[in-house]
Structure 1
Amino acid sequence: MRFWLLKAAGTLEDEELILEYSVITIGWAEFADLSSIRNEAQIKRIMLEKYPGMQDERSSAWAGEIYSFITKIKKGDLVAVPLKTRNEMLIGKVTGEYEYRQISDFVRHIRSVSWLKTLPKEDFEGEYGVDLSSPETLSLIEAGPEKFSDITKVKTLGVLLEELNFTLDELGSLKERLLELTYRLAETEEISEVREIAAEMEKILTEK
């Protein structure tokens, strides 16, 4: 199992589509189906035919990324996709081989995934030592077995429902307490009591 960083999510609409369809994409939608590709040189040739003025070093790097997306990412590998419109990383497990399927103008070269969770970008960068501002679109993340274990931990539906119910109950109690304090505040004219009520309300709101 390997862990890949893939910085190709497209627009807000494309981000919603990769979530909805459970896929990742490498971009390069201007290229036709690449299923028959056998090596990086073929991709580079296609790229230079499309963009004849492209620098050789750049075309080699991009061809390598596309080839890795098609052939080197394996089913069972993990992938992290930074969202452009949110301060979050999508974490998923690859479940399918390369496909060419038009989902949007941008999302055509795809791999199926099972989305596992989201993580804040800052936490992800710190935990895995990656730089999300680096120019590479696709790269490997160095991660030991213990980090693979952490990243693949997914809460069961039962646990999530228990946490949700607890949170809703807690919010209900807080709402009742805030309403009670509001009524007290409306009824009193004592400055000391007003300050006491205001302090308690501030404490509740700050802690929650």
Structure 2
Amino acid sequence: MNFWLLKAAGTMEDEEIILENSVITIGGAEFPDLSGIKGEEQVKQLILERYPGMKGELSGTWAGEICSFITKIKKGDLVAVPFKTRNEVLIGKVTGNYEYRLLSDFISHIRSVRWLKTVPKGDFEEEYDVDLNSPEAISLIDTDPEKLSTLVETKSLETLARELSFALEDLDLMKERMLELVYRLAETEEISEVKKIAAEMEKVLKESD
């Protein structure tokens, strides 16, 4: 399992698209479907046809990054995508091979992922000894297997959202039950009934722990 740094999220709208569609992208939406690409030279040729004035070294670097995205990233690898519009890094597990799917003017070359968590940029740079301002669009993060295992064990964003939804529903039910008991308490002066209601309140609170 490898851990990749991928700095290729565009506008806020594009960031929302990769979140909602659970995908990563390398950009380059101006290029056609790259499923049949055999190597970097083919990609470099496409780049130079589109941008004939681009220097050879730059086109070679870009071609290498695109090929890494298509062929070197494997299903099961982890990927870290720094947001451009917020101070966070999005971490996910790659679940699919390369696809060509037009999702926006910026996003068409994609890989499916399962998003795991977000980490503040400063914490991420310190934890993994990386520079998020480096020029590379894609690079390997050198880290130990134990850290990778910890990331994989992290609950997915979807799971956390679902659990939060259930917790809020439980909280609403508890609130309704407590209000019902408060109304009953306000309507009685019987000591025995007050004790009974107090015991029910205590039970509801314990069940919420």
* TM class by smaller structure: 0.7 to 0.9
Where does residue 126 of structure 2 map in the other structure?
Answer: 126
**What is the DSSP-based 3-state SS (H/G/I as helix, E as strand, rest coil) of the residue aligned with 1:136?**
coil
The CA deviation at 1:160 is 5.3
1:75 lines up with 2:72 in the alignment: no
Aligned counterparts of 1:62 and 1:88: Cα–Cα separation in 2: 25
Q: Distance in 1 between matches of 2:83 and 2:161?
A: 28
In the alignment, which residue of structure 2 is the partner of 1:28? 28
Name the residue aligned to 1:41: 41
Query: Deviation digits for residues 92-128 of structure 1, max 9, x if unmatched?
Result: 0000000000011111000000001111010000000
Which whole-Å CA distance do the structure 2 matches of 1:39 and 1:49 have between them? Answer: 16
> What SS class does the counterpart of residue 152 from structure 1 fall into?
helix
- Specify the SS of the correspondent of 2:81: strand
Amino acid of the residue matched to residue 28 of structure 1?
G
Shift of 1:153: 2.6
Task: Verify: 1:61 aligned to 2:56, yes or no.
Answer: no
Percentage of matched positions with identical amino acids: 69
Shift of 1:150: 2.1
Distance 1:63 1:159, change over 3 A: closer
The residue type equivalent to 1:5 in the other structure is L
C-alpha displacement of 1:147: 1.0
Gaps of 5+ in 2: 176-209
Counterpart residue type for residue 27 of structure 2: G
- 2:141 maps to which residue? 141
Q: Which runs of 5+ in 1 are unaligned?
A: 173-208
Instruction: With the length of structure 1 as denominator, give the TM-score of the two structures.
Output: 0.75
Matching residue of 1:95: 95
CA RMSD of aligned residues (A): 2.3
User: What is the alpha-carbon distance in structure 1 between the residues aligned to residue 13 and residue 164 of structure 2?
Assistant: 29
Separation in 2 of the partners of 1:31 and 1:150? Answer: 37
Distance 1:20 1:68, change over 3 A: same
CA distance in 1, matches of 2:162, 2:108: 36
- Count of aligned pairs: 168
Deviations 1:138-194 (A, max 9, x none): 0000011111022223246599549x67xx8xxx9xxxxxxxxxxxxxxxxxxxxxx
The letter for the 2-side match of 1:73 is I
Judged with a 3 Å threshold, the aligned counterparts in structure 2 of structure 1 residues 159 and 20 are, in CA distance, closer, same or farther, namely: closer
User: Distance between the aligned counterparts of 2:102 and 2:8, measured in 1?
Assistant: 16
Instruction: Quote the offset at 1:70 in angstroms.
Output: 0.5
